[in-house]
Amino acid sequence: MRVSDEVAEALATGRPVVALESTIISHGLPQPRNLQVALELEDLVRQAGAVPATVAVLDGVPRVGLDKDGLDRIATEPGLRKLGFRDLAPAAALGLSGATTVSGTSFLAARAGVRVFATGGLGGVHRGWTTVQDESADIDTLSRTRITVVCAGVKSILDVPATLQRLETKQVTVVGYRTDEFPGFYLHSSGEPVDWRVETPQEAAGIMRAQDTLGGLDTALIVANPVPADLQLDPDLHDRVLAEGLRAAEERGVTGQAITPFLLEYLVEGTGGASLEANLAAVRGNTRLAGEIAAAWAAG
């Protein structure tokens, strides 16, 4: 694994660092906007007083912290794989390049010593789990990785109540940031309650310290940060287009790993791009908050 000089120096001197995933750059946005957003997110981390560490795998080498050339490659190189935790070893052995998902980013960031990670939304339990038993690897990785993930909940195409139940079973702590309800990714709220609430980055950092003091399982802390109500996707539009997308997926036989990109793209098209803007609003807010939490954590 190669840690950039800037990130390595920050970790060695106790400065705050925030990990950023790279799949939003390679697979989540069109060119050239994807590179613009990647640079914007890194800048938001710096504005919060932290060092950004975008994570990816280039030519078989896991990278924690990318320079401009590395970001350019993730944004423009064709055929990049999406790499979860299980894919990291094959990519390394075969010398391949790819963008890291939540599970891949969490693992590599934690291995490098980065404690805080900002993303859009987590993966989780898919609808119809009792039939297909489709569950994101994010949950299992977070159940055994000591990292704090700032997110806007889980993708709204998933079974949110089942995902929260699964996180509870896996002993993953979920706290709402200034909210008593779990966010709905594109939506301010999913309508599902959360058991714990924090009001400040300092309180979130305090939970991180308590995790370390108590010891036990190396599980993650999820800080669920809702997209502002005035920037969310219109709830009625969201529900209508998602229902249409689920019917279309069933009619076309879209299943397994293909279902998530299919539904996300269906939402982008069906909402005239509004879902993408809500997604970006959430990612920006999560990145700012992650920088603030990392700074509070580093302050001790």
Distance in angstroms (rounded) separating the CA atoms of residues 232 and 56: 29
Give me the residues paired with residue 243 across strands: none
Catalytically annotated residue among 21, 42, 135, 292: 21
Q: Provide the 8-state DSSP code for 135.
A: B
Q: Which pLDDT value is given to residue 131?
A: 62
Q: Is 82 annotated as a binding residue?
A: yes
* Six token digits for residue 65: 């912290």
Q: Is 143 annotated as a binding residue?
A: no
Distance in angstroms (rounded) separating the CA atoms of residues 79 and 56: 14
Q: Which residue has the tokens 């697979």?
A: 27
**Sorting pLDDT into bands at 50, 70 and 90, what band is 132?**
low
Catalytically annotated residue among 42, 155, 168, 181: 155
Is the pLDDT assigned to residue 130 strictly greater than 70?
no
Q: Is 170 annotated as a binding residue?
A: no
Do residues 179 and 224 touch, judged by C-beta distance below 8 A?
yes
* Six token digits for residue 91: 């990519």
**Sorting pLDDT into bands at 50, 70 and 90, what band is 260?**
confident
Q: How many CB atoms lie within 10 A of CB 89?
A: 10
Domains of the chain: 1-114 (3.40.1790.10), 122-300 (3.40.1790.10)
* Six token digits for residue 284: 């920006």
Active site annotation includes 68: no
Q: Is 138 annotated as a binding residue?
A: yes
* Six token digits for residue 247: 């019917």
Note the pLDDT tens digit of each residue in 188-238: 999 999 999 999 999 999 999 999 999 989 999 999 999 999 999 999 999
Q: Which pLDDT value is given to residue 264?
A: 86
Active site annotation includes 170: no
**Sorting pLDDT into bands at 50, 70 and 90, what band is 126?**
confident
